[in-house]
């Protein structure tokens, strides 16, 4: 037997044994649903005493992808800020032919990331 565990109306895991707990429901599911839940847990919700496919799954999946990308952009911006500090201190030229400095190079990357970030945050 395979179960999806529900606590306070929210799916909180799965397993091949019942989870003990006062507020935990253990809903027996088919192997197909169990395997699909393992792959994409947000695809299912608890409704009317059963596990069903989430009708808003595609929208939520897209929002999750956007939030993940936003987090990635923030990490990249932090890394670029550290590189800019070094570029200010060393003021080396990145490309002798164009005269572009490392600071200008990092600043242009930040401008691109900030534009993408603003567009993504408008969607959330």
For the whole model, what pTM was predicted?
0.70
| pLDDT the model gives residue 20 | 85
pLDDT (tens digit, 9 = 90+) per residue, 61-117? 999 999 999 999 999 999 999 999 999 988 889 888 999 999 999 999 999 999 999
Query: CA-CA distance, 105 to 108, in Å (whole number)?
Result: 5
Distance between CA atoms of residues 70 and 118, nearest Å? 9
Structure-block tokens of residue 65 = 């992808």
Q: How do strand 50-53 and strand 44-47 relate by DSSP bridges?
A: antiparallel
- Angle at which helix 57-90 crosses helix 102-123, to 10 degrees, equals 160
Q: What is the mean pLDDT of the chain?
A: 93
- Looking at residue 81, its pLDDT comes to 95
Determine the average pLDDT of the residues in 31-45. Answer: 93
Q: Phi/psi at 89 (nearest 5 deg)?
A: -70, -35
First to last CA, the chain: 39
pLDDT tier, 21 (very low <50, low <70, confident <90, very high otherwise) = confident
Domain ranges of the chain: 2-55, 58-123
DSSP β-bridge partners for residue 29: 2
User: 69: closest CA among 80, 58, 61, 59?
Assistant: 61
């Amino acid at each position: 037997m395979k179960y999806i565990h529900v606590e306070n109306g929210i799916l909180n895991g799965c397993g091949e044994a019942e989870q003990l707990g006062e507020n935990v429901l253990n809903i027996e599911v088919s192997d197909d649903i169990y395997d699909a839940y393992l792959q994409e847990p947000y695809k299912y919700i608890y409704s009317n005493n059963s596990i069903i496919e989430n009708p808003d799954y595609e929208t939520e999946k897209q929002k999750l992808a956007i939030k993940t990308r936003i987090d990635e952009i923030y990490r990249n911006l932090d890394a670029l800020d550290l590189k800019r500090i070094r570029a200010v201190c060393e003021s080396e030229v990145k490309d002798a032919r164009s005269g572009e400095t490392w600071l200008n190079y990092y600043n242009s990357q930040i401008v691109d990331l900030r534009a993408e970030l603003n567009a993504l945050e408008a969607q959330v």
